[in-house]
A and B are shown apart, each in its own frame.
Chain A
Amino acid sequence: MQYGMIIDIDRCVGCHACVIACKAEWEVPAQFNRNWVHRLGPSLTSTGMASTYYPGLCNHCKTPSCVPVCPAEPVSFTFKDAKSGKTVTMEVAATWKDPFNGTVQVDRERCIGCGACRDACPYNARYVDEGLKDDNSLGKVDKCTYCMPRVAEGLEPACVQTCLARARIFGDLDDPKSAVAQYVKKGAVGLTSKAVQIGPNGKYFGSKKGDMELLMQAAPQEMPKVSLRRSLLSKMSLTAKNQIKEIGLLGLAGGLLIKSLQDEEK
């Protein structure tokens, strides 16, 4: 199973309701966004004048660049398939890709607010709320969850529910009968470019060539430089961290270190 979101830009009227419904549902601070709507154009395209919208959100990518860079202490976590009841236990940092539903999620409790995942996302789909910093973190990261807690209750994601245009379609891309899979068959595509190929599961459909041209121009054209280096570094540190875990007292030392870093910031 892989949850995905289709945005039908033929239907989208650019009203921004999706953004505000999400803010209300998840108490996203006014200055931050889990999703967004950008107006594109009017510009001249190969087929003449065009203007459309880029309603964006986390793409819950196939190979998410945000997940491997997380330096937070990994913990063992057991995932359960909602349908079959099957379980898988994995070591995950504070952000991971769910092995069953394919969504990318965050554990804010364990997030240290370093911003590594935010910086690694070519779609700018994450933000760090520094207002939530505490003794253990520099803030907390947040992003679209595909409204998994709502979906678990049989509800649609908040942005999908409020959309007057029915321009947002949510479902299982792996199920060939689903509306989202039908859209992919019809030609819905992710916002990828030569350099950015991480398998976005948010996909866009538009029947007008000019609109799609504008949209593909809005796709990120390069991977954030930080991500590769950071991913290497975080892997290196993993070994170090595992060693540290064995020596409980060092945790306290770490705590003192954070405190001194935060004091330094002030």
Chain B
Amino acid sequence: MNLTRRNFLKAASIAAASVPLSKVAAKAESGVVKAPLVAPGTFKNTQTAVGGVCEMCFWRCQLVGKIRDGRLIKLEGNPKSIDNGVSLCARGNAGVKLLYDPDRLKYPLKNVGKRGAPKWQRISWEEALDTCGSKLKAIVDQHGAKGIAMFPHGSTATYPMGFLENTVGTHNVSEASFFQCRGIRDTAYIATIGLPPNEDVDMANAKVMFFLGNHLGENVHVSHLKRYLKGLENGAKLVVVDPRYSAAAAKSHIWVQIRPGTDTAFLLAIMNYLIQNKKYNAEFVQKHGEGFDKMAEGIKGWTLEKAAQECDVPAAQIKEVAELLAANMPNVSIHPGRHVSWYGNDFQRQRALACLTGLLGAFGVKGGFVQPKGPKGLAKVGWPKGEHKEESLREMADVHHYSPPGTPTDLIRDTAITGKPYPIKGCVIWGQNPIQTIPNQEKTIKMLEQMDFVMCVDVMPTDITMYADILLPDTSYLERYDMIKTGTQWDFATEHKQYIAPRMPLVAPGFERKESIWITNEIAKRMGYGDKIPVQSQEEAINKMLAGAELSIDKIKAEDGIHIQPGKDPYGEMELTVLFHNQEVEDNGYPGIPTYIPVERAPEGYCRLLYGRSPVHTFNRSQNNAWLMAENDDSPVWINDKLAAKLGLKEGDKIALVNQDGVKSRTTTKVKVTPGIRQDCVYMYHGFGSMNPELTIGVGKGIDDQSLITKLAVDPETGAHGMRNNFVKLVKVS
């Protein structure tokens, strides 16, 4: 950057000439109008399109779009929103770059190469739909509905999933949001309090917030973070249990640097301490608890000292946390977590979290677990359920009794690979990227290779679309109607309001992109289900749903995209029973009280591979977004500074990773040396290292963590994957 003499002279001479020349040049030019040198801003001379609902992630903030000359130039939070308000996160702001990404799918494509090494030929919709319809019908005719597997994700996949599951009748549907993410949380809470918890903790009004591995700040959901920050502002104490000094740990009052995999032991010791010292909410437990004595008896061995040893944290710190919770109960937010498919012992940990909430009586009270009272009345629209008597793979094997809806991924994948107990020969992938979502990519590819037919529907090319025979271009969330977001004002301490916000298009779809209802219906007709079609378009579906609440798209457009109505007080005693001991769980062959099941520790010379979220990315989905990649296009590996010194690694060193099975990362990344992580683990962002060269920005950036998760762990109660039981070595690359 230093100025050389020559450069300076150049600059000075230009300066001398600039004024007169500009006048001369302006006249001399050919009449081509140049873009103004200064951007005019998006707030003037633009149109505002209302009714957007974000899908850069799945929190669904409400948007408006600024449009100039028919082109969307900026997204902002809808000023009418009582959820995200005018705010958006980085990803929400960057939706424009997804909409106009030149790498987006534009036309129906046929793979005339091989699965995994595709050669694409543009075909007509007619040909694409005929192929999908006839191939899927042939599979159903030969193998039955169960011969089709589906991997859906997102609201665009809801309708086709209903078609395949309800009407065609296959059980073999696996949603990553359940089996590789939050399904365990939901079924464990249902088995404890009868309700899925979502993330319904009233952090804004809590005295203590308790996070287990929850990395808010790196995990960004706007209204959720508003609650969290409001809690901190109001003076709540924050406890963060994490092997790493996460974004949340950096704002915590107590950071528990726990040994990975031992969280349940930590929770049991806290509960045991509260019980032994009579510091739990006896009144609540008396009124709402069941099986308390059994749990108390069963966990009494979990002394502070025992847990301290297992979790590798000071006993005094566990006590400090327990005392803090006791002193502030019931106004404590025991966060249920979101991505919880960690170690294959996760159902028990999630049960323990629900039981701890019960011990503290933190239900329905300020700062506790509080369910928002959202609007009611929206009608349901969907495919009719046919007469399907066949058992699912899960029922046949009599396993995973607390599975989330659908079928556990490995039951589908193993069945497809072995052909036992039956063949699975058709694969429909809609919005999901199973290469990046499901551990052990080799098995996923084997499953795909044995299929008679694979179709993918997506907005962008991804690693999975490389395996499609037919690849169909979906509309993006900015170009379609497709779901209705409902909720309440984010802070329960303020005036109670409810909102209804259907996703409405801000711009018309480009190229030959089509909405999922149309695609599904056209395939359904060709498979012989034309008479079962419930609606003709997304717009019709939304209007039918809204009619249940005496609303319509037109009405909501007139209300600037969001209907707001008076709400209800969400506080007050909840009608629920906390099953500290669950007899049914025990009868099904699992521990009836929350139980710690140890996991393998890192072998000598290896570190446990932990992963999490980049604040500017949604897994792999945003990995070709020019603005987001400019902010973060790598997944540096966090390594403890002392360990790094031992291994001779320095900040910024280029490395590859090799796991315990000898699998080497396809790409390389850099080392981030920090004291803020334990020595027995390393950490990196999930979702990087795409292999599809059609992602011209994203391909090969950073390392794909999922490629290194080859050793499978399956949570026995739920059948969901545990993805933090793999170990890696760092290999310096020169």
Contact = CB atoms under 8 A, between A and B. Distances in A.
Asked if A and B bind, the verdict is yes
Interface of A: 10-11, 13-17, 19-21, 23-27, 30-31, 33, 37, 41-44, 49-52, 71-73, 75, 108-110, 112, 114-116, 118-119, 132, 134-138, 140, 147, 149-150, 153, 155, 161-166, 211, 224-226, 229-230, 233-234, 237, 240-241, 244-245, 248, 250-255, 257-258, 261
Contact of A49 (B40, B90, B675): B675
B75 interface: yes
B14 A138 contact: yes
B32 interface: no
A31 B626 CA distance: 9
Contact of A162 (B93, B217, B245): B93
Given A51-B247, A112-B11, A135-B21, A27 B87 contact: no
9 contacts: A11-B229, A24-B627, A109-B37, A110-B19, A114-B10, A132-B37, A134-B25, A165-B226, A165-B229
B87 A164 contact: yes
B20 A248 contact: yes
A20 B56 CA distance: 13
Interface string B617-651: 00000000011111110000000000000000000
Given A14-B247, A150-B43, A230-B8, A257 B17 contact: yes
A173 B14 CA distance: 38
B397 interface: no
B15 A73 contact: yes
A42 B44 CA distance: 42
Contact of A251 (B10, B24, B674): B24
Interface residues of B, number: 73
B39 interface: yes
Contact of A137 (B16, B18, B217, B626): B18
A252 B90 CA distance: 47
Nearest to B638: A42
Which label, helix, strand, loop or mixed, suits the secondary structure of the A interface? mixed
B676 A51 contact: yes
Contacts of A248: 20
B494 interface: no
Given A17-B89, A49-B255, A149-B43, 16 more contacts: A13-B615, A41-B676, A49-B676, A71-B12, A73-B19, A110-B19, A112-B11, A112-B14, A114-B14, A116-B3, A134-B25, A138-B14, A233-B12, A251-B24, A254-B16, A257-B14
Interface string B211-253: 0000011101010011001001100000000000101011100
B466 to A, nearest CB: 25
A237 B17 CA distance: 13
B675 A44 contact: yes
A161 B41 contact: no
B502 interface: no
B21 A258 contact: yes
B43 A251 contact: no
A13 B220 CA distance: 9
Contacts of B217: 13-15
A163 B12 CA distance: 41
Given A15-B90, A226-B2, A233-B8, A42 B250 contact: yes
B37 A114 contact: no
Contact of B675 (A25, A43, A73): A43
A132 B34 CA distance: 11
A251 B628 contact: no
Nearest to A225: B2
A248 B16 CA distance: 11
A132 B629 CA distance: 23
A224 to B, nearest CB: 7
Q: Which of B43, B92, B93 has the most CB of A within 10 A?
A: B93
Nearest to B19: A73
Contacts of A26: 39, 41
A257 B20 CA distance: 13
Contact of B674 (A42, A136, A164, A166): A42
B21 A20 contact: no
A19 to B, nearest CB: 6
Given A25-B74, A43-B675, A230-B3, A164 B225 contact: yes
B41 A25 contact: yes
Contact of A13 (B74, B225, B631): B225
Contacts of B92: 17
Interface in B436-475: none
Contacts of A44: 675
A254 B21 CA distance: 8
A132 B43 CA distance: 24
Contacts of A230: 3, 8
A234 B11 CA distance: 10
B303 to A, nearest CB: 28
B14 A30 contact: no
B674 A41 contact: yes
Given A11-B229, A13-B217, A161-B86, A150 B41 contact: yes
